[in-house]
């Protein structure tokens, strides 16, 4: 038995937004995050032990 066709209304086409990627900004943010992580590892004893694998039970 033939099923009745369901007419789905078409949505209007929306142009994608063009985004300019700032490579320098991305690199700067990555360096900032790396510096923050290294500072955390250097100042937090537990984080340093976990990072170096020197934790004991």
pTM of this structure: 0.49
For residue 23, the model assigns a pLDDT of 94
The domain locations on the chain are: 23-52
Question: pLDDT digit string (tens) for 15-56?
Answer: 999 888 999 999 999 999 999 999 998 899 888 888 788 866
CB 11 within 8 A of CB 5: no
Helices (H), 1-57: 23-43, 45-52
Q: How confident is the model at residue 4 (pLDDT cuts 50, 70, 90)?
A: low
Residue 42: what are its φ and ψ, rounded to 5°? -75, -25
């Amino acid at each position: 038995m033939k099923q009745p066709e369901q007419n789905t209304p078409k949505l209007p086409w929306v142009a994608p937004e063009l985004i300019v990627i700032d490579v320098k900004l991305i690199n700067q943010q990555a360096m900032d995050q790396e510096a923050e992580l290294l500072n955390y590892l250097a100042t937090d004893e537990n984080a340093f032990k976990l990072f170096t694998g020197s934790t004991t039970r």
